[in-house]
Amino acid sequence: KTEYPRGKIPIKHEFTYLGTTINSFLDDQADTMDRIKKAGASWAQIKLVLEQDMPLRIKGMIFETYVLSVLTYGSQAWSGQRNLIRRLEVFCNKCYRTICRISVVQMREKGIHMKDIRGWLGLKNIEYYTCRNAMRWLGHMSRMGGERIPKRMLYAWIPDRDRKKGGGNRTSFGKYALD
């Protein structure tokens, strides 16, 4: 705890601010896991609706609206580390298979790939959605006036620090720029 004129303030190593989980390490792992948990709750609520007999494209639109929006909320600020994107993919792939009523064994037997299932549902991979959010945010930033704090922070440079080596694999926004 830290002393303050009116008493002690407890030090929190993890907290939620505007729906985003922030921890003392300032990494995205806690927020990613929290997003998966919240998207799982949304998934549980709509799962019965998606078991109804309706076209797969409609099911895909419902999933995108109610689950992917929760899953990718705040993703414009994520670092895009491969291991975190992979966790999001695993969650989505399980949901996609459930919507299509197909198991991993059936996929192997019939030679079906996740790309095929996403095509049936009219969805893209999770990396597309996270990159789209980041590109949208960068578009907002580029249109901001130069006096705005978010834009000044984006273009700020700390000259006396080098980038930490081995910072993890990053995703590339470039391949989604034309979508």
What b/e sequence results for 8-28 when a residue is b if at least 16 CB atoms lie within 10 Å of its CB, and e otherwise? eeeeeeeeeeeebbbeeeeeb
Residue 24 pLDDT exceeds 80: no
How much is the pLDDT for 91?
A: 95
Which of 28-42, 78-92, 163-177 is least confident? 163-177
Nearest Cα residue to 116 out of 150, 15, 3, 108: 108
Evaluate if pTM is beyond 0.75: no
Q: How confident is the model at residue 51 (pLDDT cuts 50, 70, 90)?
A: confident
Size of the chain, expressed as the number of residues it contains: 179
Structural tokens at position 17:
């601010």
